Structure 1
Amino acid sequence: VQKSLVDMYKEGDIYRAKHPVFWCVKCKSAIAKSETEEIERETMIYDLEFKIGDEPLLIATTRPELLHAVVAVAVHPDDERYKDKVGSTVTTPLGNEVPLIADKDVDMEFGTGAVMIATFGDKQDVIWMYRHNLPYIKAMDDNGILVNSQWFDGTHVTKAKELVVSKLKELGKVKGEKKLKQVVKVHDRCKKPSELLMSNQWFAKIIPYKKDIEEAAKEMEWHPSFTITYMLDWLNTLEWDWVISRQRHFGTPLPFYYCEKCEKTEAADKLPFYPEKAERKECSCGATMIPETAVADCWIDSSITPLVIAGWPEAGWENYYPSDLRPQGIEIIRSWAFYTTYRCLRLTGKKPFKHILLHGNVLGPDGTKMSKSKGNVVDPAELLSKYSADAVRLWVAFSGSLERDRPFNYDQVKRAQNLVNKIWNSTRFVALSLDGWNKDKEVERTPMDKWILSRLSQVVSNVRSSYGNFEYYKAVSELTTFFWEEFCDYYLEFIKHRIYNGIDKEAAQATLADVMEAVLKLYAPVAPFVTEELYKAVFNPNMSIHTSPMPEPGLVDDESLTYGSFLMSAISEIRRAKKEKGMSIKDNIDVWKLELPQTLQPHKERLEKEIKAIAFVDNIEWS
């Protein structure tokens, strides 16, 4: 991590400067824009009386506690009310004198069309300060304590508004007040409102590389494809470089020195770098340089994970870079995905991964975010004491589109566990049926065997395609429909008489083995544990299923598909009739009438034998 920072510093991408930054007065640290969230809250907006000469000028504000840091009042250059007043002096409610300036970003339709510029109420104040070269007044210290405020020094910013408004009312400067819905930025960790403070911090240059980052993002395949818009939208909102230093006790030390006298900076000569153990370094101005004590933003570390995986900076890392896949949550696109793309691009000149797979979060069973206070947290340990890990994984695959949040559902996990049990029991039946089977012997498959193998070929093709597109729900749904409804409910029932009575037994055994092994391999990505155990026990004790090749699509025999569909339909119809009459499926029926399609006439004799054996029918009348 430190080497990556030193490399970027040498390229001119890392610098130290005094700039306005988002600051959390509770955590007492600089934070990046990506660490802020916007929340709506109710606040008060006050109409305060400023003056241009002796003429009152009302200005609405939600932050009267920043009045002592007002450095100008702005109006729109086209506002006829103020054209002849621009350049004059405005007296604030606290008696300070500031200039009246014109700026195109002022909304002349809001209130009186005049706005106070304080350092800093919001991002717009920062823009105006730099644009008009306005002075900076420090409104509060790093702890959120007001300074330079005449009457209110020593008051915390969270309590200052009430005191300031009280004083202004005493002075007769509050001319109106009303409630207002307001969107404010809060620190995503502590959920407290963030401030904009001027501070000496370390920054990573991002703004010059916005176009490069966009192009790198477009080179990657996003799943689902629309999620790239989250990255591009975020990129388009960025106006400042990334502040990477944090005033915290824990984190990766920033490997730099700075000089308080001339503000020169240098990178550490030896790594790893620890400020408390740092070697003495003399500045060219003659002063002793100070080892930086701030630590790196945690995204500095995690943003080079593709490089760490590849073995960077050791020889040969290029063979494993970029990574094939980055799976991650949608909510951290603007942090993890964005910073990884930026940092890896600057360090290698290449995109960090080929594919990026975005997923939502698992919510509590009540559909809201899991929280101990709400009592809706699902304890993984307790869950795994009742269900297999495979069942939980299968539930995720079955729970729908990967990118959306989904409530945890115990009933669906139970159904997934039933599927795991079904896989186990079916493989056990197949294993018992393979007793005495010579797998090296060539056998002639029956039309029924060719039907299930043709269906398997179609399923293999579709499931592989779905996995390749990270469409797990689609893959597992189609696989399970085939496995449970066609293979278990029909084919296994169809061939039991062959296994037990030795009728085309070897063909049935070969087909059972082919299908069951392929099914286990297709389930392996989402049910890795049960498939591994069954694969080694039945098919190959010397190889992991996860290193074995995935099944390939085979031939699809259309005539056999017709044969199998007809057979399934006929057996279903007979079973349904028995059920309606209160009969067991093993009760015999004297006569059953069937209409045979012309294409299946060559298979009439075999179909009749199989229907009689499978459905317990004594006679078939064909029409």
Structure 2
Amino acid sequence: MNDETSSTELAKTFEPAGIEAKWYAHWEANGLFRPERPDAQPFTIVNPPPNVTGSLHIGHALDNTLQDVVIRYERLRGKDALWVVGTDHAGIATQMVVERQMEARQDKRTNYSREAFVDKVWEWKAESGGTITGQLRRLGCSMDWSREQFTMDPHFTRAVVKVFVDLYNKGLIYRDKRLVNWDPKLKTAISDLEVETRETQGGFWHFKYPLADGVKRDDGLDYIEVATTRPETMLADMCVAVHPEDERYKAVIGKDILQPLTGRRFRVVADEHADPELGSGAVKITPGHDFNDFEVGKRAGIKAGEMLNMFDAEAHVVQTADGLVPAEFLGVERFEARKLVVQRMKEAGFLIPHVTKDKEGNEVQHDAEPRTIQTPFGDRGGVVIEPWLTDQWYVDAEKLAVAPIEAVRSGAIEIVPKSWEKTFFNWMENIQPWCVSRQLWWGHRIPAWYAEDGSVYVAETEEEAQALAGNKVLARDEDVLDTWFSSALWPFATLGWPDTDAPLLKKHYPNDLLISGFDILFFWDARMAMQGIEFMGQVPWKKLYLHGLVRAADGQKMSKSKGNVVDPLGLIDQYGADALRFFMAAMESQGRDVKMDEKRVEGYRNFATKLWNAARFCMANGIGASDTRTAPNCTLAVNKWIVGEVAETVRELDKAMADLRFDAAANAIYHFVWDTFCDWYIELIKGSFDDETKAVAGWVLDQVLVMLHPFMPFVTEELWHALGARANDLIVAEWPAADAPVDAEAKREVEWLIGLVSSLRGAKNELGIAPGARLEAFLPEPSAATRAIIEGNPAAIERLARLSAIRFEPAPAGAAMQVGVGDANLVLPLEGVIDIAAEKARLEKALATSQKEAKSLEGRLSNPAFAEKAKPEAVEKARADHAHHAAEAERLAAALKRLG
């Protein structure tokens, strides 16, 4: 440790900013995030690679805090702890950022060749693509930056191309015509994760489709009524579906029907997708433009290649393959086409109006029934997503899912919390083909080449493809791969694969743990499991920990539109990274979302300050760095007790970390530091700083710093060096051993003293007696053990319990309060200390008030009408108020009882 980073005197006030900047730079510059430990047991985690365009949001703060707690803990335990770090090239997001910058300069992507545009993206990355990595450093993330990865690095691209080619050669990647989520603004397919559903106000239109050739239904009608929220799609309708058991339509199943605008003839088909209870029970089917209709169409025998497409890439109407779309619709934008379709159907008499009544009871006709519609939008492009039939590349996810399902069933992959297993199995067992092609320029270009005769050649290089094709002229596929395809290789491609002899790969695969938000369980986690088992023959990680979302204080999901987004960097600026980290860990309870609470973040800043002040107090009394990892020899009960408390806390922490109970681990060290060490041990040893106590106190403070370090790395490193010269930095110190003895007698003695002081303080507070008032206590016939404790600790009893004496004889007659501790019942006379009558009157009045309030609230809460009609927050407040008054009544009754 050099002189620049060591310190011998602590500032009076704990100020995080300077400490954080100093120590992070020191750790990184000295390679301490991954110290040389070639023979140590490996421990490996990989970070979910954030988008290179991204900046730190509160979800990142939670996710990365939890990972850093684990990696620092395992590093302190002596392991070769590797935290793989990197960023994702984020195809759509990055291309959009660069295109927006070009638009601001009145420029556009299509003014450049593909290669020239990609060069511009690389320039942007070099200049602006490192924002989030700097922010992860602010949070204190001890990642191995020396091996920072990027999903477009040459070695990573090599892995991506090999995986694609190998899967293709195994028949697990294929090209197919299917429906995709199409973004007409970005002109690319997007994944389900990039689709967000919003409520929009729309309509539900009803139309008549006439039966062909004079056919009539059993009820005499010569048409079938269909309803739709997207009338424009009728230009590509290919059948009408009715439920096979619907008596209204049994006679016309298999008969032809006419689409009025196009004149297209198609059949009435039987399919259980049609719900007899919904609308007319008949559904128009447009298999080329609706995901449900696509499946109905397939069941009706329509092949994907035969399904009609009525839109171009920008969602303007184009001619269908049968040439039946009227010319006036061609080139019309989809929502304008909707209006025109409705107008023409109405003019031709095929619109069935929606009828309502006005205030006078007169019928009013409307074109459509108003509806609130769950509408898919692209989260990047911001426009309505169009299901679009197009040729794309697909991964046979159903076959690749078999091995991960078995891995979870067998325990080879443990999902924590276990409750997520059901969701995992449900999704994996019903998995759909995975569309992996995107119509972008930025990304891993698909290694497929096409000949004019339609032949496809998939190879790692153009030379290999040409060798397969012979003399045919080849053109490369224009598409790139979905970024989830490349990030699925993260656990092994970052370690050197496809070089199977890479030392890191041999040592650090499989990874030990993956920490991830539950929202990417299928988009990333499951796909890593598929690719890891397929290409490495082993699971990518032994344990998968899924955490919840960080929500606003009222439990709502954070969103920019609601204005309730919290900036983690602002919290770090205000309270320090240590406080935010501790909040995240303490609030992370398995299976639950984290509710943001800035007051608690502030509280953990106060916690760091309390530790800081405790260290300053120790240093002022000659207590410094310990020179031993094992506990010093003790003769005094208070020192034996604190050594045992350290051992029990280490065991508690180790169990919590093994179970990934971050909240339990944080609370264990919090209560040890605040309650056991600061509030009791330091108070008990005040004024008694002999050599033994100094040695023990220094040792305990060292153990505190090591145990707290994974949660609060900055303040602990600063205090570690302030206490004295060190052979190593705290980040690479040794985790405390849990083998220090727990002396049962010492524990009983100190806990008796703590019980006495706590009970007396509480009793004084209840009766309005000044905390510093010195009282006399009487304890006739104490047990031998209790007498020994009292006689052995007169100074502590006088100083902390404020007792001038404990007399082993009966108390004099008169008003007194009684305090129980252990097997003793102490009597403390109150004559002359307080006005007994006035105090009784005060307590009785307060008790009556609390009882009345509690009863009133109980009546309100037991009234079903209140629970049903009141706002949830009002019900919650009433419950909280009732609990408060009930507890207060109980406390006041106990205080009265003390007075006798």
TM-score, normalization by structure 2: 0.63
Task: State the partner residue of 1:563.
Answer: 749
Which amino acid is 1:570 matched to? L
Following superposition, the deviation at residue 145 of structure 1 comes to 0.7
Aligned CA distance change for structure 1 residues 401 and 581 (closer, same or farther; 3 Å): closer
8 Å contact kept, 2:254–2:268: yes
Please say if 1:508 is aligned against 2:693. yes
Q: Distance in 2 between matches of 1:437 and 1:167?
A: 87
**Equivalent of 2:443 in 244, 251, 254:** 251
Q: Distance in 2 between matches of 1:381 and 1:449?
A: 41
Which amino acid is 2:288 matched to? F
Please say if 1:124 is aligned against 2:301. no
Q: Deviations over 1:313-372 (max 9, x none)?
A: 332313211111212222222212122222222222322112222223334567555555
The Cα RMSD (Å) is 2.9
Q: Deviations over 1:437-469 (max 9, x none)?
A: 996796433122222222222222112211222
8 Å contact kept, 1:139–1:146: yes
Question: 5 Å matches for 1:142-181?
Answer: 142-148=313-319, 149-150=325-326, 151-176=328-353, 177-181=368-372
Please say if 1:182 is aligned against 2:373. yes
Q: Deviations over 1:226-266 (max 9, x none)?
A: 23333333324433x11111112322222222334223232
Which amino acid is 1:410 matched to? E
Which amino acid is 2:477 matched to? E
Task: State the partner residue of 1:223.
Answer: 416
Task: State the partner residue of 1:74.
Answer: 241
Q: Distance in 2 between matches of 1:237 and 1:571?
A: 62
Aligned CA distance change for structure 1 residues 141 and 59 (closer, same or farther; 3 Å): same
Aligned CA distance change for structure 1 residues 444 and 453 (closer, same or farther; 3 Å): closer
Q: Deviations over 1:52-81 (max 9, x none)?
A: 234122122222211121112223333343
Unaligned runs of 5+ in 2: 1-159, 215-221, 320-324, 354-367, 810-900
Task: State the partner residue of 1:273.
Answer: none
Q: Distance in 1 between matches of 2:200 and 2:784?
A: 73
Please say if 1:397 is aligned against 2:589. no
**SS of aligned partner of 1:397:** helix
Aligned CA distance change for structure 1 residues 429 and 267 (closer, same or farther; 3 Å): same
**Equivalent of 2:276 in 87, 102, 108:** 108
Following superposition, the deviation at residue 220 of structure 1 comes to 2.0
Following superposition, the deviation at residue 407 of structure 1 comes to 4.4
Following superposition, the deviation at residue 420 of structure 1 comes to 0.8
Task: State the partner residue of 1:319.
Answer: 507
Aligned CA distance change for structure 1 residues 338 and 114 (closer, same or farther; 3 Å): same
Which amino acid is 1:118 matched to? T
**SS of aligned partner of 1:517:** helix
Moved more, 517-526 or 28-37: 28-37
Please say if 1:211 is aligned against 2:211. no
Which amino acid is 2:349 matched to? G
Aligned CA distance change for structure 1 residues 594 and 387 (closer, same or farther; 3 Å): farther
Question: 5 Å matches for 1:424-439?
Answer: 424-435=612-623
Task: State the partner residue of 1:274.
Answer: none
Question: 5 Å matches for 1:367-382?
Answer: 368-370=556-558, 375-382=563-570
Moved more, 192-201 or 156-165: 192-201
Aligned CA distance change for structure 1 residues 72 and 496 (closer, same or farther; 3 Å): same
Aligned CA distance change for structure 1 residues 605 and 491 (closer, same or farther; 3 Å): same
8 Å contact kept, 1:282–1:288: no
Task: State the partner residue of 1:502.
Answer: none
Please say if 1:96 is aligned against 2:282. no
Question: 5 Å matches for 1:500-579?
Answer: 505-538=690-723, 541-553=726-738, 554-575=740-761
**SS of aligned partner of 2:419:** helix
Q: Relative contact order, CA 8 A, sep 6+: which one is greater?
A: 2
Which amino acid is 2:638 matched to? M
Q: Distance in 1 between matches of 2:783 and 2:466?
A: 92
Q: Deviations over 1:560-589 (max 9, x none)?
A: 22211111122334556777777574x7x4
8 Å contact kept, 2:509–2:540: yes
**Equivalent of 1:200 in 356, 379, 391:** 391
Aligned CA distance change for structure 1 residues 437 and 394 (closer, same or farther; 3 Å): closer
**SS of aligned partner of 2:387:** strand
Moved more, 613-622 or 162-171: 613-622
Following superposition, the deviation at residue 167 of structure 1 comes to 1.0
- Alignment coverage as a number of residue pairs: 608
Q: Distance in 2 between matches of 1:537 and 1:360?
A: 38
Q: Deviations over 1:513-537 (max 9, x none)?
A: 2321222122111101111222233
Task: State the partner residue of 2:228.
Answer: 61
Q: Distance in 2 between matches of 1:385 and 1:137?
A: 57
Moved more, 595-604 or 471-480: 595-604
8 Å contact kept, 2:457–2:469: no
Aligned CA distance change for structure 1 residues 243 and 259 (closer, same or farther; 3 Å): farther
Aligned CA distance change for structure 1 residues 442 and 128 (closer, same or farther; 3 Å): closer
Q: Deviations over 1:115-146 (max 9, x none)?
A: 22213342222112222332321111111111
Q: Deviations over 1:67-97 (max 9, x none)?
A: 1211122233333433343332111122221
Which amino acid is 2:476 matched to? P
Task: State the partner residue of 1:605.
Answer: 791
8 Å contact kept, 1:449–1:508: yes
Aligned CA distance change for structure 1 residues 78 and 280 (closer, same or farther; 3 Å): closer
Following superposition, the deviation at residue 305 of structure 1 comes to 1.4
Task: State the partner residue of 1:138.
Answer: 309
8 Å contact kept, 1:257–1:265: yes
**SS of aligned partner of 2:209:** strand
**Equivalent of 2:778 in 593, 606, 616:** 593
Task: State the partner residue of 1:332.
Answer: 520
Following superposition, the deviation at residue 485 of structure 1 comes to 1.6
